Structure 1
Amino acid sequence: MACPPCPPSPLARVRLDDVAPHDGAAAPGYARAVGALAASLARRGAAVLELPADDAAVIRCALESARAFFRGRHAAYLYRAGRTLEDGELSPACMADAFRCLGKAARAALCAIARHLRLRTDVFNQLLDDTPLPVNEVSSSELLVAYSHEQPQSGHSLMGCPSRSSMPQVDRGFVTLVASDCPGIEVCDPNGHWYLADGVSGPNNLLLLTGRALSHVTAGLCPISHYRVTNENRASLTFRLVPHANAILDCSPILAAGHCIRQVYQPIPASQFMDDSYAEEHAVSSHLEEPFESQGNFVSDPSLRSVLSDPLS
């Protein structure tokens, strides 16, 4: 008699303090935490980072701010550090603090992934914005804060078009962190099974997803996360760690570490890579309007654009 299939491995829950070095020293459980994080990304396509209490308080403030700022409307706001507010433009509270908090967590996760691949933990730092960000410079990475309060019927939006949020998606950057006040994100594992990845949501839990840029610079050793949003009745924060425009994405560190590289992974300017990835995604869903411009800010309820806006669009 055939043996029953083995249950899927659980989604790893890793404390941020265990993968973020303090004063140059690693935590006692660093190696174990790095291994658990990498194994979860490989086997489940995602992982969960648990924030310390102080950082969780910042994220809680930002989620509550989203609800208060949008006042029950379908809407979203795209925040970039360093961008000056235009005349009359308002921003939800706590965005700068939330950006710093999530940026720190995303960089710690990226360092942990590099360590697992036998690379220096700072090997990808040259591809990222400087920290602190120079004066008069706008960050490449972005924080999307969104709120919606009802789910479109039958997974469709206005005009009979499929809801963009319910379609399988990938991100173009290195890593993506999502915090929300309700579960609602499914991830596809390497076996093609969709599962609820953020079943335990809250300000202290960040869902970690990996994007195209990370897959490219690791020569495919770090897989791309495929996900979809199944519940739009929530407030959420989505932070995307993106390479700066002048970076060159190449696999030389992977090659130096002894890994094999396929011919497809050639050096490419980050700006071109991001544009090519966008064009590929846009070709799949060209009937849906892109909800944000490159320097977009507030998207309000009355338009089709707001209905399609989602923290993972």
Structure 2
Amino acid sequence: MAASPLHPPSPLARVRLEDVVAHDGAAAPAYAHAVGALDASLALRGAAVLELPAADAAVVRCALESTRAFFRGRPAAYLYRAGRTLEDGELSPACMADAFRCLGKAARAALSAIARHLRLRTDVFSHLLDDAPLPVNEVSSSELLVAYSHEQLQSGQALMGCRRSSMPVVDRGFVTLVASDHPGIEVCDTNGHWYLADGGSGPSDLLLLTGRALSHVTAGLRPISQYRATNENRASLTFRLMPHANAILDCSPILAAGHCIRQIYQPVPASQFMDDSCAEVHVVSSHLEEPLESQGNFVSDPSLRSVLSDPLCGAFLEDAMVLQCGHSFGGLMLKKAIEMARCTICNREVDSTSLFPNLVFGHKQL
């Protein structure tokens, strides 16, 4: 679908799903290029676009059309999990089982590509996921949120004139894929700028985002995507690839691959990790709903402290500088990054002449 003037082309990398699927010739130039482009887009822009092959695109289009028909123009949502038995009288939109399989396959391929770029085996995270296919009578931990949103548009105004959701979303799983029949997802890049991520996308494209679980098992080497949906007349499918309940999230593969890991990334049961993530989201949501004058003491909250702290040593940032890759450092960690000429988070090259102050942290010398 061509981008309209109201929906400028997305700055994200667009890669074909077929090019990031691991295979016997995984070192082929097309595969290496696609994996590199995907990872770079996630690191710098917080998202990427996967182009589905024709057969999978047809499944997604069918699911989106059935979503509109199921909700019949009424804003609503339905959560689908493979293996779950419908309760008496419960109805489900059509094509959900096929859409779940299609998006699940794409999500696993993206996770494998991310692992490959970190010098890990492509299947290194597979043991943390549900079996595919699922055993009989087992319900998937991954989920497919089917939703229809609607807002009356006045005077033919499109997306840019609509009211935006004020609440950013951070997912708890490994990766999230979003398909929709109309643009409406904004993503925050590493510089804190929000942009329309799916402006030039159609039902054949999937918006790829990364979650907390992936950030944890990669020791923070892969940042968490922050996104928000605009209120608009649109049907959407949001697939979240989640760890199974008995998984243990740890960074041993990252350490074995020679990457540095911070002490905070300790092994944690997936069930506990999910519960802790829910609690953190609740705290942040409650804070955002408070009047501004009541938010003065929120700096003591661990989640905000992590935002205001050095990403490696955990100390509050002082005279923070922003690197070309978007990561911020201060004090000794900034000195180390300059000496190494590499960002210690994403390993990208650092040019000391291109640093600029991070004003969020009240820089002393401008």
Q: Which residue of 2 aligns with 1:198?
A: 198
Distance 1:70 1:196 in 2: 26
Q: Which residue of 2 aligns with 1:123?
A: 124
Say whether the 8 Å CA contact 1:210–1:225 is kept in structure 2: yes
Distance 2:239 2:140 in 1: 12
Superposed, which structure 2 residues align to 1:201-280 within 5 Å? 201-280=201-280
Deviation at 1:216, TM superposition (A): 0.2
Residues 126-174 of structure 1, C-alpha deviations (whole Å, 9 max, x = no match): 0000011000000000000111221699xxxxxxxxx994311110000
| Amino acid corresponding to residue 79 of structure 1 in structure 2 | Y
- Give the aligned length: 271
Q: Which residue of 1 aligns with 2:108?
A: 107
Residues 184-240 of structure 1, C-alpha deviations (whole Å, 9 max, x = no match): 111111111110001123221000000000000000000000111123320000000
Distance 2:76 2:254 in 1: 41
Distance 2:267 2:152 in 1: 42
Say whether the 8 Å CA contact 2:165–2:231 is kept in structure 1: no
| Amino acid corresponding to residue 88 of structure 1 in structure 2 | G
Deviation at 1:21, TM superposition (A): 3.0
Mark the structure with the bigger radius of gyration: 2
SS in 2 for 1:29: helix
| Amino acid corresponding to residue 175 of structure 2 in structure 1 | V
| Amino acid corresponding to residue 260 of structure 1 in structure 2 | C
Distance 2:201 2:231 in 1: 12
Say whether the 8 Å CA contact 2:100–2:239 is kept in structure 1: yes
Asked if 1:282 is matched to 2:282, the reply is yes
Say whether the 8 Å CA contact 1:183–1:231 is kept in structure 2: no
Q: Which residue of 2 aligns with 1:297?
A: none
SS in 1 for 2:179: strand
SS in 1 for 2:192: coil
Say whether the 8 Å CA contact 1:148–1:232 is kept in structure 2: yes
Q: Which residue of 2 aligns with 1:171?
A: 171
Say whether the 8 Å CA contact 2:149–2:231 is kept in structure 1: no
Distance 1:287 1:222 in 2: 26
Distance 1:213 1:151 in 2: 37
Q: Which residue of 2 aligns with 1:88?
A: 89
| Amino acid corresponding to residue 69 of structure 1 in structure 2 | F
Distance 1:92 1:225, change over 3 A: same
Larger RCO, structures 1/2 (Cα 8 Å, 6+ apart): 1
Residues 45-101 of structure 1, C-alpha deviations (whole Å, 9 max, x = no match): 000000000000000000000000001111111000000000011000000000000
Say whether the 8 Å CA contact 1:67–1:147 is kept in structure 2: yes
Q: Which residue of 1 aligns with 2:134?
A: 133
Say whether the 8 Å CA contact 1:119–1:254 is kept in structure 2: yes
Unaligned runs of 5+ in 1: 1-8, 154-162, 289-313
Unaligned runs of 5+ in 2: 1-9, 155-162, 289-366
Q: Which residue of 2 aligns with 1:77?
A: 78
Distance 2:207 2:165 in 1: 16
Q: Which residue of 1 aligns with 2:358?
A: none
Q: Which residue of 2 aligns with 1:33?
A: 34
Say whether the 8 Å CA contact 2:150–2:231 is kept in structure 1: no
Q: Which residue of 2 aligns with 1:6?
A: none
Distance 2:265 2:232 in 1: 36
Distance 2:64 2:192 in 1: 32
Identity of aligned residues (%): 87
Deviation at 1:28, TM superposition (A): 4.8
Deviation at 1:286, TM superposition (A): 3.9
Say whether the 8 Å CA contact 2:22–2:122 is kept in structure 1: no
Distance 1:268 1:164 in 2: 35
Give the alignment's Cα RMSD to 1 decimal: 2.0
> TM-score, length-normalised on structure 2?
0.71
SS in 2 for 1:166: coil
Distance 1:51 1:85 in 2: 29
| Amino acid corresponding to residue 170 of structure 1 in structure 2 | V
